[in-house]
Amino acid sequence: MWFKKKIELFNHPLIEKVDKELSSILKADLITSDSEILERLSKEEQKQSGIASSDLLSIYEKKKDDLIKFTCYSYSKESKIELVEEYPNPADDKQEYSDSKTIGLSKGFSITYAIYFYFLSKNDNKGLLDYLSVRRIPSSKKFHERLINYFHESKGVILSDSYIQYAAGYDKENVTIKDIDKAIKDVQEMDEEHGAFWISILMDNDEEYVIEVNKRQKVSVMYGEKIDIQYDSQDWNEVKHILKLHIDKKFDDIITIVNK
């Protein structure tokens, strides 16, 4: 008789790769100390979830981008919430404390979110709530509601700090000089209604720095809520120069140009 070998997730190279990618996006160090303790906690999480390790690994293999968006969005939202919550059963002083950041940004932390993601992707809200209760998550019902919202909201999240979008609908993340060249060429061939594109830079304070360009070479600079400048450029070469400064985040140089 053949037995299927159990998949060990904690030290799996794909999970390690995703953990590193997430820590980079979240701009946090990935802690690998006390690895034995972290591995024990992670295995306990998996056991309590009742989800097969092969099913969790499948999320990393087939839905990695969605998992990363969900994890980043959820973690960022939760980090801004000052939780002053009691244990599900305050009278029980023997229960172990566990919250939504049980492992935090330590090695294997993405497995926590993969478990949430699994239940949510299966629309198994009861299964997720039961799991959170087993994990003794403080105010598990409230956290459960937030996770459901994060799951749906994260689908529209952009992980890159820059994106380009055409009025006609085309969009792309991680803007490069090649994207600028393409956009300038494309906009000249568009009609008046759709003849525009914009490039947005997402700042650390959640503001967007946007430059919009139309086919008449008009440049609109919208930096946060304070700066809104309209500028008639000299030619497409100047437009390209301004946009290159924009993706290089040389915002002061752009302000100097458009204010002359």
Select from 121, 138, 156 the last residue of a domain: 156
Select from 98, 123, 156 the last residue of a domain: 156
Q: Are residues 185 and 136 in the same domain?
A: no
Q: Are residues 80 and 168 in the same domain?
A: no
Q: What is the pLDDT of residue 91?
A: 47
Q: Are residues 80 and 183 in the same domain?
A: no
Q: What is the pLDDT of residue 82?
A: 53
User: Taking 70 as the threshold, does the pLDDT of residue 31 lie above it?
Assistant: yes
Q: Mind listing the pLDDT tens digit for each residue in 164-200?
A: 999 988 888 889 999 999 999 999 999 888 899 999 9
Q: Mind listing the pLDDT tens digit for each residue in 39-51?
A: 999 999 999 999 9
Kindly state the DSSP code that residue 102 receives in the 8-state scheme. S
**Positive or negative torsion for Cα 103, 109, 115, 116:** positive
- Judge whether 3 lies within some domain: no
Q: Are residues 25 and 134 in the same domain?
A: yes
Q: Are residues 20 and 110 in the same domain?
A: yes
User: Taking 60 as the threshold, does the pLDDT of residue 104 lie above it?
Assistant: no
Q: Which residue has the higher pLDDT, 156 or 214?
A: 214
Q: Which residue has the higher pLDDT, 31 or 16?
A: 16
Q: Are residues 120 and 48 in the same domain?
A: yes
Q: What is the pLDDT of residue 5?
A: 57
User: Taking 70 as the threshold, does the pLDDT of residue 102 lie above it?
Assistant: no
Percent over 90 (pLDDT), the chain: 62
Number of domains, the chain: 2
Would you give the distance in Å from CA 78 to the centre of its chain?
Answer: 13
What's the rounded Cα separation, in Å, for the pair 60 and 15? 7
Q: Are residues 119 and 72 in the same domain?
A: yes
Q: Are residues 119 and 193 in the same domain?
A: no
Rama region for 20: left / alpha / beta (φ>0; ψ in -120 to 50; rest): alpha
Rama region for 229: left / alpha / beta (φ>0; ψ in -120 to 50; rest): beta
Cβ 207 vs Cβ 224: under 8 Å: yes
User: Taking 80 as the threshold, does the pLDDT of residue 213 lie above it?
Assistant: yes
Q: Are residues 211 and 85 in the same domain?
A: no
Q: Which residue has the higher pLDDT, 12 or 260?
A: 12
**Mean pLDDT over all residues of the chain?**
86
Q: Are residues 24 and 149 in the same domain?
A: yes
Mean pLDDT over 241-259 rounds to 95
Q: What is the pLDDT of residue 84?
A: 41
pTM exceeding 0.75: no
Domain of 214, in residue numbers: 162-258
Q: Are residues 128 and 170 in the same domain?
A: no
